[in-house]
Amino acid sequence: MGTTKKYWKGLEELNNDPAFVQAQQNEFAEYVPVEKFLENDSLKDTSTSRRDFLKLFGFSITAATLAACEAPVNKAIPYVMKPEEITPGVANWYASTYFDGNDYCSILVKTREGRPIKIEGNEMSPITRGGVSARIHASVLSLYDTGRITGPYANKAPSTWETVDKEIGAKLSAAVAKGGSIRILSSTIISPSTKQVIADFISKYPNTKHVTYDAVSYAGIIKANAQSFDKAVLPSYSFDKAKVIVSVGADFLGSWLSPIEFTKQYSKTRKLSREKKEMSKHYQFESILSLTGSNADKRFAVKPSQYGTVVVNLYNAVAKLTGGSAVASGALPIDAQIEKVAKALVDHKGRSLVVCGANDIATQVVVNSINTLLGNYGKTVDVETPSYTKQGNDEQFISLVNEMKEGKVGALITYNANPSYTSPAGLGFNEAYAKVGLKVSFADRLDETAMNADYVCPDHHYLESWNDANPKAGHYSLTQPTISPLFAKPRNEGTRCAQETLLKWAGNESDFHSYIQKYWSSHVFPMQGKYMTFGDFWNHSLHNGVVEVGSGEDAKMAMGQDSSNVNASAKPEVAHKTTTVGGGGMFAQEVEVEVKEPKLSVAEAAQSISKSAKAGNIELVLYEKTGMGNGNQANNPWLQEFPDPVSKVTWDNYITMNPEDMKDKYHTLARYNQMEMKADTANVTVGGVTVELPVFPQPGQARGTIGIALGYGRTGAGMVADGVGKNVFTLAQVVNGTIQYTVSDVTVSDKTGNEHQMACTQTHHTMMGRSIVKETDLTTYSTQPVDVWNEKLLVTLGDKHVPASQSNLWADHDKPGHRWGMSIDLNACIGCGACVVSCNAENNVPVVGKEEVRRSREMHWIRIDRYYSSDMTVEKADAEGKGVVDKYLEMENPTTENPQVFFQPVMCQHCNHAPCETVCPVLATNHSSDGLNQMTYNRCVGTRYCANNCPYKVRRFNWFNYIENDKFAEVNPSQNDLGRMVLNPDVVVRSRGVMEKCSMCVQRIQEGKLNAKKAMKKLEDGAIQTACSKSCPADAITFGDLNNVESLVAKEVEDERTYYLLEEVGVKPSISYLTKVRNLDAEDIVMHEEHKPHHGGEEHKEEHKEEHKKEEAHS
Amino acid sequence: MNTLCNKAQQAFSALLFTLILTILLSFQTVSAQPDGAKLFKQNCATCHKLDDTRLTGPGLKDVFKRIPDDEWFLKWVKSNTKLTASGDPYAVKISAFDVSTMNEFGFLADDEINAIGTFLKNPPAPVVGPTGPTGPTGEVHVEKGLDTFWTLVIIIIALIIIIAVLRGVKRSLSNVVNEREGKPANPDRNVWEETKVWMGANKSKVALIIIILLSIGSKMAWDAMFDIGVFTGYKPSQPIAFSHKIHAGDNAINCVYCHSTAEKSRHAGIPSTNICMNCHKGISSGATTGTTEIAKIYEAVGWDPKQMAYNMPQKPIKWNKVHNLPDFVYFSHQQHVVVGKQECQTCHGDVPNMTVAEQVSPLTMRWCIDCHRETEVPGMMANADSTLANPYYEDLHKKLAEKYKGQKITVDKMGGIECAKCHY
């Protein structure tokens, strides 16, 4: 970056005079005899005594203080011409759409004075239904990323659009004249208008072909569907309709396909109430401990090479029960369990769902067959409403790379794709790229691909541009700009919408906004019958953000429209028929598939699976972290500091390995990496590519496997991301024409001798016998009295035992008006952490960087505690006569094979008898009449007594002035003018020496109250939502007024599952939790009881056990 | 600032004079005839000026020298479209000349239109305001407070000098006397030494004085500490000599006409420059400062008064903020204005009489809280009439009325002085 201009201060510098170079190294131009000066004895005789010094010191401080009392002159600069829709101080909301080639989400964007500052979900979307993920919450900060380039680059130097357009135009024409081919390489494009733009471009340059390639490919499923149903599509899944869910290696709540959509659906089946005492049963087979696996009712740790066999054996078991014929397969140690899973599936025919994360055609064909046997098609799986969000075609991409290697590609335009970073090393994309005549990238920064491109034509951020989306058949949505482009003339050359760039090169000068309108008026508008005029239709669609063109005839038309739209761009493919296979989710290509490949029968698929299932000594799984995803937003510090839901590690990727494996096979690595401790590193080698990473002990990781997260190790993302972790996209393998993210042939070295410090936000692993997370199982919950599974804690008051809720050390606060409270359903919460990033954005929570996280100084107001179950219990330890130290040490160690996982969001509990309030010497924290534990920053003097006295450890201290201290310049976005634009102006930015904590989004409470007062009406339940409750994709957090008996939260608190965190300390929190319920098999319940760390009354326990035994006998 | 005061005073007197003159003149023209001047103001002035400058329509100076006759004037004003359609040559000519069509005034009676015509034939002499400070006391005006202070200082210095001189005189006289009487001369002590001798002789008095001085000093220091950061009376000069008195006072423009967001947002808002242009498109010179200050608006907004078009670059006005609250305070205007039904003047003082905006209230937390302790919320008043009763407060009011039987339910009783109401 930077200019090629040379600046110098003197000729010496210009000529690199040796004396100058030497002098340059010295900080001080002249020799300063500091030591000599200090050694001088005459110093003792000087007249400046200590007293004098102190006097002067005192005087200067007083003088400085008094000088500071001068009133600063503040300027108020109003608009010259105020835009009609802007009222200073009032937020405007716009419906828009997020799609980055990976995640689709219909969103609402909150803007203040023209700046987008917060993203919320759009409840009108039938797909995402108001859910948002951590990544999408964080995307608003990516807009203000300093890593973005502010204008086009030509040959690695800043250039102008005029030059770039002229030169590229000439080169493209030259390429066409020479008969060289032009290729557009993009990630999935779901925008029909963009596809039309590409089609326009292709008609101008007929030698062009559009290749779609996803960083994490789903080509296997698409091809399998082509095999099974003649439809090269991704189906729509309905987890909400499934009673039994089986997932084989698919992290559908964290990263697989459409996690927001699936989380919304999944949590629906997990919610319980007095009226609805049934929930779905979720089985998970996987190697790494994923977010989805952590939430499963029953989880099986299997190696990735066994995924195929698991699927085939499950098929056989289902076939056996449904009268189908079995196919040949290998045996697995868990076959008996698989049969049970099959039984559960068959019992819920048409209300079950089997999904698999393997990007392997044969495996997916068998999965399709299982779902067919179970009659799930048309019920929980819908191929008639295909999803278009993943259209990557690995074979096309691979053949493109081969073409490039042969020097056949005259020009390559990359759009929203970064293959230099995301392609497997084995493909050799970088060498191939060097052979391309004209390399153009639309990247918004000089990323790994763009830094080697001839021209970089930066695209707008999605919040600055128009776009449309067609995520599913019949579903359309619009993206609208919520800010005028940040980098624009006259200060910068500016960014330009990629579609407009392409149109311009194709000789069309129209802007993309009118282009979309034109497209919609001719393609989308005719598909609906609700609005008579296009203007009406457009305005409503833009206002709602989404539009459904209906079912039946409309949908069919829509699908026809989709395909016709793609037809145009797919046409040139006919010439390459030999190299093209299906995929792309496009009907035009289906026909080809049908003609080309013979269909795979289940038996053949099974055969293919057993052939390729070669178990290795150590197998590798490459996975996407919930926060980082495929790394396209890696330069976003909110995401870097977002603790991984399962490992709780920030700012790193690492090798996850089962602690037992570390002990047995790599005993030198058996070291827990916690906080100040260091992790040993090891080398992972796959096909000649070696990556050195720290080893992290991960309970639940399948024995003999390791996992590494994708998305790290960026080199061209920007200040924040570069050098964080290692890139492991290079380790992915191309097998059978698809890119595989599991590798069975891996070598893992012993420890290298290097150490790496990791920053983990949670050091404790289990609850150590305390009832922090209460849990029970569905059978107990639905058949036993509440005391059995949600025992009320008793405290001794005088000579009586009374429930803890009834004892009161202090007089209650009077709460005549509202009483804010929150109920968190631990059964619905999946631990995804969307709330954490949402809270970051809403409350200006500072980013502190890895070093500070290591010192436990992360500032997140809401954390999600993750607990594992332990083999050791208090009872067991006592029985074995273990000492206290040993007991707790062993209790701290989770069950390594397959621990149960608990997630618990913890924020300030807004205690009614808050211990923090009583110890504050300056009354900076105190209680409000509506039940809030208020924190007054301007009064706080930073004694930190409150944090010491908080039983929940939710208070955060500002050790530094994070927004100004140079130490945080690289990580804290608020350090520059651009990053500061994301700050919420309604929440004060805290300075050094101040305590802070969750305020229950008091700014939102105040706003909601004021709106009700102004409207002269009662406050409606749900009118006020905190950032976390609004953004939870699982609807696990309910916020409201406990004094309003009609409110949802008041009803939830009355639920029998309600308990309070550490109720026995008597602080009377305003946040309540709903007991977690697992849908366990009968034999697991007994086991679980033994595992259950805490249980109150002994008598109860005995009773309870016996009942279970009876039940078991009964069944 | 001082100059501004002076200017404003001048403006005021000039305005007063004009007003009186106008009133006197209007008394003279009282009759049964329709009032041409009034009708012109009501119907024509939004588009036409009396001089030769253009507004939406052309300036009407010497208009009757241009148009054919009074009859044409009558027809044109009644319905210019009809007249143009009838093919009247002059009407066709001016319609072609101007794209914007004039409104039709068919509702005006003939004699009313004639009255306007009469008015236009004899327009009042244009009021020309001074273009700069010309008053004799213009630039050396000194504020009274400072005046007394410096007088005091000068008197004290003079007194000290007199004391010193007298002391010297006294000593030399006494020395002369001593010499004559043969006594030894007074020791040659300076003032300090003499004071020390006196202090040695009067220890109790000295102690008393020290105690008194210390007490006064501490009290002053204590009071001064409370004034740190309090800027009551802060009255910064502004880039444009905007006078609230002329706008809100003399012309009685409602506060929220300009500060329109006070009812919609936490900020009352400095009006955007286009709000100024709503009136100042037509009013290009003021009584006090003539065109100089208004021209600054035009410059900011990029308005070319000659061509009557926004064709110049825009330059935002950088006002000096008068009322500054610290960043950690969340104050909402709409809460106080809409829900609390407070008058702007309650906090901002008698703005309609301020030529230069000034901070009247201390804006300290104590000041806020004192008010919250005394003020009843309109929706919560025990005997609130139905228009004020706010259903939002219904339940709360019931409970609080029970708790504070008979007492006023003030803001603080419903949590209005809790920290998180303003600090978050």
Q: Please indicate, yes or no, whether residues B46 and B78 belong to a single structural domain of this protein.
A: yes
In a domain, B331, yes or no: no
Residue A407 has pLDDT above 50, yes or no: yes
In a domain, B61, yes or no: yes
Identify the pLDDT of residue A581: 34
Residue A154 has pLDDT above 60, yes or no: yes
Residue A1108 has pLDDT above 80, yes or no: no
In a domain, B338, yes or no: no
| CA atoms within 13 Å, Cβ hemisphere of A734 | 16
Q: Which residues contact A210 (CB under 8 A, 6 or more apart)?
A: A183, A184, A186, A198, A202, A569, A570
Residue A19 has pLDDT above 60, yes or no: no
Residue A639 has pLDDT above 90, yes or no: yes
Identify the pLDDT of residue B281: 84
In a domain, B254, yes or no: no
CA B379 to mean position of chain CA atoms: 32
Identify the pLDDT of residue A622: 92
Nearest-by-CA chain B residue for A996: B424
DSSP 3-state of A185:
strand
What are the distances in angstroms from CA B172 to CA A1027, B165, B169, B181? 88, 11, 5, 14
What are the distances in angstroms from CA A923 to CA A512, A920, A934, A937? 57, 5, 10, 11
Last residue of some domain: B208, B225, B242? B225
Percent helix, percent strand, percent coil in chain A, to nearest 5: 35, 20, 45
Mean pLDDT of chain A: 82
- Axis-axis angle for helices A1098-1114, A1082-1091 (nearest 10): 160
In a domain, B200, yes or no: yes
Considering only CA atoms, which of A393, A383, A456 is closest in space to residue A213?
A393
- Closest CA of chain A from B58, distance in Å: 26
Highest mean pLDDT among A41-50, A469-478, B70-79: A469-478
CB A632 within 8 A of CB A215: yes
Identify the pLDDT of residue A561: 40
Identify the pLDDT of residue B30: 44
Last residue of some domain: B177, B195, B225? B225
In a domain, B299, yes or no: no
Q: Using CA atoms, how far apart are residues B69 and B73, in angstroms rounded to an integer?
A: 6
Q: Please indicate, yes or no, whether residues B206 and B155 belong to a single structural domain of this protein.
A: yes
Highest mean pLDDT among A269-278, A541-550, A936-945, B6-15: A936-945
Query: In this structure, what token pair is assigned to residue A75?
Result: 């300027």
DSSP A257-311: S-HHHHHHHHHHHH---SS-----EEEEEESS--HHHHH-SEEEE--GGGHHHHH
- Say if B341 is an interface residue toward chain A (CB within 8 Å): no
pLDDT digits (tens, 9 = 90+) for A329-371: 787 888 888 888 999 898 888 899 999 988 888 888 889 888 9
Q: Using CA atoms, how far apart are residues A654 and A692, in angstroms rounded to an integer?
A: 9
pLDDT digits (tens, 9 = 90+) for A586-604: 333 333 333 344 577 887 8
Residue A615 has pLDDT above 80, yes or no: no
Interface test with B, best of A70, A82, A1043 (most B CBs within 10 A): A82
Q: Using CA atoms, how far apart are residues A280 and A244, in angstroms rounded to an integer?
A: 6
Q: Do B269 and A1003 touch (CB under 8 A)?
A: no
Q: Please indicate, yes or no, whether residues B156 and B95 belong to a single structural domain of this protein.
A: no
Q: Using CA atoms, how far apart are residues A119 and B125, in angstroms rounded to an integer?
A: 61
Model confidence band, residue B290 (pLDDT cutoffs 50, 70, 90): confident
Percentage of chain A beyond pLDDT 90 is 36
Q: Per-residue pLDDT averaged across A1022-1042, rounded?
A: 92
pLDDT digits (tens, 9 = 90+) for A58-70: 888 787 766 665 6
Placement of tokens 């510098």 in the chain: A13
Identify the pLDDT of residue A905: 93
pLDDT digits (tens, 9 = 90+) for A1075-1094: 999 888 877 764 444 444 44
Backbone φ/ψ region at A352: left (φ over 0), alpha (ψ -120 to 50), beta: beta
- Give the burial class of A240: count Cβ atoms within 10 A of its Cβ; 0-12 exposed, 13-18 middle, 19 or more buried: middle
Residue A333: cis peptide before it, omega within 30 degrees of 0 = no
- φ, ψ for residue A274, nearest 5 deg: -55, -35
Q: List the single range of A91-105, A446-460, A946-960, B389-403 with lowest mean pLDDT.
A: B389-403
User: What are A412's strand-pairing partners?
Assistant: A183, A439
Identify the pLDDT of residue A50: 77
Identify the pLDDT of residue A39: 63
Mean pLDDT of chain B: 81
Residues of B in contact with A1016 (CB under 8 A): 379, 390-392
Residue B369 has pLDDT above 90, yes or no: yes
Domain extent, residue B187, equals 2-32+148-225
Q: Per-residue pLDDT averaged across A1062-1078, rounded?
A: 89
Placement of tokens 């004034």 in the chain: B227
CB B333 within 8 A of CB B267: yes
Q: Please indicate, yes or no, whether residues B90 and B15 belong to a single structural domain of this protein.
A: no
Q: Do A73 and B236 touch (CB under 8 A)?
A: yes
What is the ipTM for the molecules in this complex? Answer: 0.79
Q: Using CA atoms, how far apart are residues A93 and A34, in angstroms rounded to an integer?
A: 61
DSSP 3-state of B334:
helix
Model confidence band, residue A394 (pLDDT cutoffs 50, 70, 90): confident
Identify the pLDDT of residue A1109: 43
Q: Do B264 and A90 touch (CB under 8 A)?
A: yes
Residues of A in contact with B318 (CB under 8 A): 75-77
CB B299 within 8 A of CB B312: yes
Q: Please indicate, yes or no, whether residues B152 and B108 belong to a single structural domain of this protein.
A: no
- Say if A1041 is an interface residue toward chain B (CB within 8 Å): no
Identify the pLDDT of residue A66: 66
Residue A1113 has pLDDT above 70, yes or no: no
Query: In this structure, what token pair is assigned to residue A408?
Result: 């056949």
Identify the pLDDT of residue B174: 86
Model confidence band, residue A621 (pLDDT cutoffs 50, 70, 90): very high
DSSP A527-566: G--S-SSHHHHHHHHHHHSEEE--SHHHHHHHHHHHHHHH
Model confidence band, residue B367 (pLDDT cutoffs 50, 70, 90): very high
CB A545 within 8 A of CB A108: yes
Placement of tokens 């000519």 in the chain: B93
Identify the pLDDT of residue A557: 41
Who wins on pLDDT, A911 or A798?
A: A911
Residue A231 has pLDDT above 50, yes or no: yes
Task: Kindly report whether the global pTM for this prediction surpasses the value 0.90.
Answer: no
pLDDT digits (tens, 9 = 90+) for A92-134: 999 999 998 888 999 999 999 889 999 999 999 999 989 999 9
Identify the pLDDT of residue A216: 87
Which amino acid makes up residue B286? G
Percentage of chain B beyond pLDDT 70 is 84
- Say if B237 is an interface residue toward chain A (CB within 8 Å): no
- Say if A67 is an interface residue toward chain B (CB within 8 Å): no
Q: Please indicate, yes or no, whether residues B20 and B93 belong to a single structural domain of this protein.
A: no
In a domain, B155, yes or no: yes
* Strand extents, DSSP E, B59-117: none
Q: Please indicate, yes or no, whether residues B15 and B156 belong to a single structural domain of this protein.
A: yes
Q: Per-residue pLDDT averaged across A578-593, rounded?
A: 35
Who wins on pLDDT, A663 or A1113?
A: A663
Q: Per-residue pLDDT averaged across B315-344, rounded?
A: 90
Placement of tokens 């070319």 in the chain: B304
DSSP 3-state of A1074:
strand
Question: Which of B264, B300, B321 has its CB closest to that of A76?
Answer: B321
CB A713 within 8 A of CB A725: yes
In a domain, B359, yes or no: no
| Length, in residues, of chain B | 424
Q: Please indicate, yes or no, whether residues B207 and B68 belong to a single structural domain of this protein.
A: no
Q: Please indicate, yes or no, whether residues B153 and B26 belong to a single structural domain of this protein.
A: yes
Nearest-by-CA chain B residue for A844: B424
Question: Which of A69, A80, A932 has its CB closest to that of B420?
Answer: A932
Q: Please indicate, yes or no, whether residues B202 and B56 belong to a single structural domain of this protein.
A: no
Q: Per-residue pLDDT averaged across A185-193, rounded?
A: 91
Identify the pLDDT of residue A585: 36
Q: Using CA atoms, how far apart are residues A886 and A881, in angstroms rounded to an integer?
A: 10
Number of domains in chain B: 3
Identify the pLDDT of residue A1095: 42
pLDDT digits (tens, 9 = 90+) for A274-333: 888 889 999 999 999 999 999 999 899 998 888 888 999 899 888 888 887 888 778 788
Q: Please indicate, yes or no, whether residues B17 and B70 belong to a single structural domain of this protein.
A: no
Question: Vertex A971, ends A967 and A976: CA angle to 5°?
Answer: 85
Interface of A with B in 995-1014 (CB under 8 A): 999, 1002-1003, 1006, 1009-1010, 1012-1014
DSSP B75-87: HHHH-HHHHHHTT
Q: Please indicate, yes or no, whether residues B41 and B25 belong to a single structural domain of this protein.
A: no
Highest mean pLDDT among A616-620, A848-852, A1090-1094: A848-852
- Say if B314 is an interface residue toward chain A (CB within 8 Å): yes
Last residue of some domain: B170, B195, B225? B225
Considering only CA atoms, which of A794, A381, A716, A737 is closest in space to residue A581?
A737
Nearest-by-CA chain B residue for A1003: B424
CB count within 10 Å of CB B195 equals 12
Q: Per-residue pLDDT averaged across A945-971, rounded?
A: 90
Identify the pLDDT of residue A34: 59
| Pairs across A and B, CB distance < 8 A | 155
Identify the pLDDT of residue A969: 87
Placement of tokens 């050195």 in the chain: A692
